Amino acid sequence: MIIPKPRKLDEQQLQELRNIVAEFDCSIQVIEGAGQNVYAIVGDERHELMINRIEGLTYVDRVDTIQSPHKLLDIRSELRNHRVVFGGVELGKQLLLIGGHCTIDPKQPNLFYETAHALKEAGAHALRGGVWKPRTNPYSYQGDSKALEILMEASRQTGLPVDAEVMDEEQLDLALDAGVHMLQVGTRNALNYSLLRRIGQRIAGRDTVVLLKRGRHVGPIDEFISAAEYIVTFGNPNVLLCPRGTLPGLEGYRNQPDESITPLLKSRTWAPVVVDPSHSVGKAMYVEAASMAAVAYGADGLCIEAHLDPLNGLGDDPKQAVTPEVFAKLAAKCQAVWELRQR
């Protein structure tokens, strides 16, 4: 990874750099950080002559060859100063609260609008809403593109940015064309490398944010971070890591809660951690405790399923969505935990 002396290189400098690495069958990928750009060498970066020639350029500060499978997301990477901003919140400075339906019911658009307004009132900075759903049972409701309209209308009405899961390239294109601000990669696609790559390509140069959930089958922590690296290598570093419980589940909970990996993640990567307590415990009555635990473990934000009338909802909402009233209460308690953490 090449660290320039100026904030970013001009066209001529970049071309010179590209010409050098091309001689060694490598290429340059520009990663646009909030404060500074870095230039990743794509290919085998161990050529000593190539490194020496780059280090000889007057506008290059240094070449970092971090020996990590996720060199951009590594805690030592120059991108460690990158700040993700979403819903008016700078991650790390303030607790990010995302709330909304597991699944938007296209037959009841007003229900989503009412939830959206109530959640804004309750302190949410952003809305989530499932448009297309990854369902274990092929006969369960699978989602509907019509819900995308409803999601965007809720965003217009409330002024809040929105998050939706995409499972394939067609959904990705539809979501981006509609203006979805945050793309969710669900637990089932957490290791779908061609989708991760495609998302990285499509969001390069945009301010879109990706919420990457952890795979439900326990894998090494580095596997999770490396999945996020796939997205970032194309130039947009706005990625949030989302523990959401793993399999096998804990008796009584839907999954095995894994918010406790937050400090581990933070010791290896600068990427913000936004925990999803709803899918982890899988029951509305446990969501408050799981949310507070996540913040105590160091989470930068929470993504919570919330619904004005859970019993009238689709997908996971009847069992695990909290009401906006409960959301407001847990938000206040989580805020108190956040403040304790700053001591």
Residue listed under structure tokens 């400090």: 263
For 96, residues 6+ apart whose C-beta sits below 8 A from its C-beta are: 86, 87, 89, 125, 126, 272, 274, 300, 301, 302
If binding means CB under 6 A, how many residues of this protein chain bind ligand PEP? 12
Q: Is 102 in the site for Mn ion (CB under 5 A)?
A: yes
* Residue 244 interacting with ligand PEP (CB under 6 A): yes
- The helix, strand and coil proportions of the chain, stated in percent and rounded to the nearest 5, come to 40, 20, 40
Work out the angle between the directed axes of helices 169-178 and 146-158 (0-180°, nearest 10).
30
Whose Cβ is closer to Mn ion: residue 102's or residue 196's?
102
CA neighbor of 253 nearest in space, from 291, 280, 276: 280
Comparing CB distances to Mn ion, the nearer of 63 and 275 is 275
Give residues with Cβ within 8 angstroms of 313, minimum separation 6: 101, 102, 103, 105, 111, 307, 321
- Nearest-angstrom CA–CA distance, 295 and 303: 12
Phi, psi of 154 (to 5 degrees): -65, -35
- Piece of 32-40, 99-107, 152-160, 258-266 that binds Mn ion (CB under 5 A): 99-107
Residue 229 CB, nearest approach to Mn ion (Å): 26
* Contacting residue, 244, 316, 331, 334, with Mn ion by CB under 5 A: 316
| Contact flag: residue 186 with ligand PEP (CB under 6 A) | yes
Q: Is 187 in the site for ligand PEP (CB under 6 A)?
A: yes
Q: Under the criterion CB under 6 A, does residue 254 sit at the interface with ligand PEP?
A: no
By CB under 5 A, how many residues form the interface with Mn ion? 2
Q: To the nearest whole angstrom, how small is the minimum distance from the Cβ of residue 142 to ligand PEP? A: 12
Binding region for Mn ion (CB under 5 A):
102, 316
In the complex, the residues that contact ligand PEP under the rule CB under 6 A are 102, 130, 134, 165, 186-188, 213, 244, 276, 279, 316
